[in-house]
Amino acid sequence: MEPDWFGPPRRLLAGAVALAETSDGRAVGVVQADFTQEYNERFGRLAGLSGPQCMVHKIAVLPTVRRSGTGRLLMHETSQEARRRRCTHMALMVDWSTPAAERVAFFKACGLRSLMPTSDDDLYGADLETVLKVTASA
């Protein structure tokens, strides 16, 4: 079932959480982000950027609605919120506790790239304009 509602977060809760919901109010996806992040040397080419930056801590979509665009919408909305909060970049750490190929492919499809490609690191990131463009509705 494809979610037929997703707009600006109705509730930006503590920890900046946004939900994707179906028209009957069933949550099918969630994202949690921080818009006050400062990137240190571990963030490769993003290290030392001035101002607050966005860090996506968690993103999850129910298996029954994966590949429906829900994750892309969550990433797009998070990017829009980050821009409203004057961030210029977004980063995240890939969870390697389970096979990550599908997640890495998703993040790459959203415009994010490995920040330390020569070290096989778990940090991915991009400038917000790239993420906004790639995740915009077709």
The CATH number for 85's domain is 3.40.630.30
Q: Is residue 21 a part of any domain in this protein? A: yes
**How far are the Cα atoms of 19, 87, 102, 128 from residue 63, in angstroms, in the given order?**
15, 30, 12, 27
Q: Is residue 63 a part of any domain in this protein? A: yes
User: Predicted confidence band at 83 (pLDDT cuts at 50, 70, 90)?
Assistant: very high
Averaged pLDDT, 2-6: 37
Range of the domain at 23: 17-129
User: Predicted confidence band at 4 (pLDDT cuts at 50, 70, 90)?
Assistant: very low
Q: How is residue 91 written in tokens?
A: 């980063």
Q: Is residue 9 a part of any domain in this protein? A: no
Q: Kindly provide the b/e burial profile for residues 104-121, where b requires at least 16 CB atoms within 10 angstroms of the residue's own CB.
A: bebbeebbbebbeeeeee
Q: Is residue 52 a part of any domain in this protein? A: yes
Residue 138 pLDDT exceeds 90: no
Tell me how many domains the chain contains.
Answer: 1
Q: How is residue 120 written in tokens?
A: 């096989």
Residue 135 pLDDT exceeds 90: yes
Q: Is residue 75 a part of any domain in this protein? A: yes
User: Predicted confidence band at 23 (pLDDT cuts at 50, 70, 90)?
Assistant: confident
Residue 120 pLDDT exceeds 70: no
Residue 57 pLDDT exceeds 50: yes
Taking Cα atoms as reference points, which of 78, 67, 65 lies closest to residue 131?
78
Q: Is residue 6 a part of any domain in this protein? A: no
Q: Is residue 135 a part of any domain in this protein? A: no
Q: Is residue 2 a part of any domain in this protein? A: no
Q: How is residue 93 written in tokens?
A: 């750490």
d(CA 119, CA 23): 44
pLDDT value at residue 9: 44
pTM of the predicted structure, to 2 decimals: 0.81
Residue 136 pLDDT exceeds 80: yes
Residue 7 pLDDT exceeds 70: no
pLDDT value at residue 121: 62
d(CA 113, CA 133): 15
